[in-house]
Amino acid sequence: MEDFEHLQGWELLVESRQYRSAGSTGQLNLRNVADFAFLDLVSLFILNNEYETAPVSKRYADKTIGFRSFARARLSGTDLYTSLNILTNPDSIFSRKIHQNPEMDLALRQKLKLNNQALKRYLDLLADGKMSREDAAVLLLRFEKQLNITDSKLKSIRRLAQDWAGLTDMQKELVLTRMLQYYKKFAKRSELAVFIEDLGLGKGYKLNPNAPVDAELANLGYGEKPAEKSWVKVLAPLAAGYAGYKLGRHLFGPGRDK
């Protein structure tokens, strides 16, 4: 089933939510894919640091690194696996499905220096639940450089997210809002965006992906303070956990959601 390039309608069989249809792939270019992969790597670290979502992060990282390489296009790959396949293999069927900017793509590919060993180490540490704050800071900065990330908003997200456990609720709210803004604009069907939103709602944060948030102010921790939790927000973690559980069953299959 992994040798699928000759199949007609193969898009319908792809498990990745973001890359499932020609419509979603055609809206992405190589620059978007690099940014998308970077944000997914950051998302996994954040999810790994929260009790409610740590199991999702571990399973997702394990599934992404399961093949130990990103060289082949695979129907069963996660969003992140597919993004890494596009970034590391210009001849992949997925690479040919995204929007083509030949001159810009060639220039960007010459700047991409993704290290497979660093990616495997990062995902293995997440899958094993052994990712330290120091490891995350080093590896996420390395990925930022290797993916040639130039968007100041993504850099701001990384600087805050790598110290997730030490952030205030206000800072976490700003980070998650900024992430959801990006996902909504460039990756509407992202798998991890669902869990990021569930996490924020479960914690009682006021997430508004449509509101403008200045990246530099967010990095400094400025912003409107979250409202006091009402009894509805106290119940939100249970609802969010159930939503995550249902999506987890969809992503990982029955029997793998414990």
Least confident of 6-10, 68-72, 121-125, 176-180: 6-10
Q: Is the pLDDT of residue 76 over 50?
A: yes
For 102, the 3-state DSSP assignment is: helix
Per-residue pLDDT for 213 more than 90?
Answer: no
Say whether pLDDT at 22 is over 70: no
User: Which pLDDT does position 14 carry in this prediction?
Assistant: 79
Average pLDDT over residues 102-108: 94
**4 neighbors 75 (Cβ within 8 angstroms):** yes
> In whole angstroms, what is the distance from residue 64 CA to residue 41 CA?
11
Q: pLDDT at residue 237 above 80?
A: no
| Confidence category of residue 242, pLDDT binned at 50, 70, 90 | very low
What is the rounded CA–CA span in Å between residue 251 and residue 205? 26
Which residue from 197, 194, 191, 198 is spatially nearest to 78, judged by alpha carbons?
191
H-only helix segments in the chain: 22-26, 30-48, 54-64, 79-88, 93-97, 102-111, 116-127, 133-146, 152-161, 169-186, 191-202, 215-220, 231-252
Report yes or no: 125 and 146 within 8 Å, Cβ to Cβ.
Answer: no
Q: How far apart, in whole angstroms, are the C-alpha atoms of residue 91 and residue 104?
A: 16
Is pTM beyond 0.85? Reply is no
Query: Is the pLDDT score of 234 beyond 80?
Result: no
Domain range list for the chain = 10-252
* Contacting residues for 106 by C-beta, under 8 A, at least 6 apart: none
pLDDT value for 88: 95
The structure tokens listed for 63 are 């599934």
Average pLDDT over residues 33-44: 97
Provide the 3-class DSSP secondary structure of residue 167.
coil
Specify whether the CB–CB gap between 140 and 46 falls below 8 A. Answer: no
pLDDT at 148 over 50: yes
- State the pLDDT confidence band at 38, using cuts at 50, 70 and 90: very high
Residue bearing the bigger pLDDT, 94 or 236 = 94
pLDDT of res. 256: 46
The label of the residue with tokens 């055609």 reads 26
The 10 Å Cβ neighbour count of residue 99 is 14
What is the tens place of the pLDDT at every residue in 187-200? 888 999 999 999 99
DSSP 3-state of 188: coil
- Over 50: is that where the pLDDT of 180 sits? yes
CB contact at 8 A, 19 and 82: yes
Lowest average pLDDT, out of 40-44, 156-160, 178-182, 235-239, goes to: 235-239
Q: What percent of the chain shows pLDDT beyond 70? A: 75
The Cβ-side half-sphere exposure at 72, using a 13 Å CA radius, reads: 13
Nearest CA among 46, 141, 139, 143 for reference residue 88: 143
Overall average pLDDT of the 99-125 stretch = 95
pLDDT value of residue 167: 96
Q: Is residue 60 within 8 Å of residue 16, measured between CB atoms?
A: no
Average pLDDT over residues 125-147: 97
Calculate mean pLDDT across residues 178-184. Answer: 93
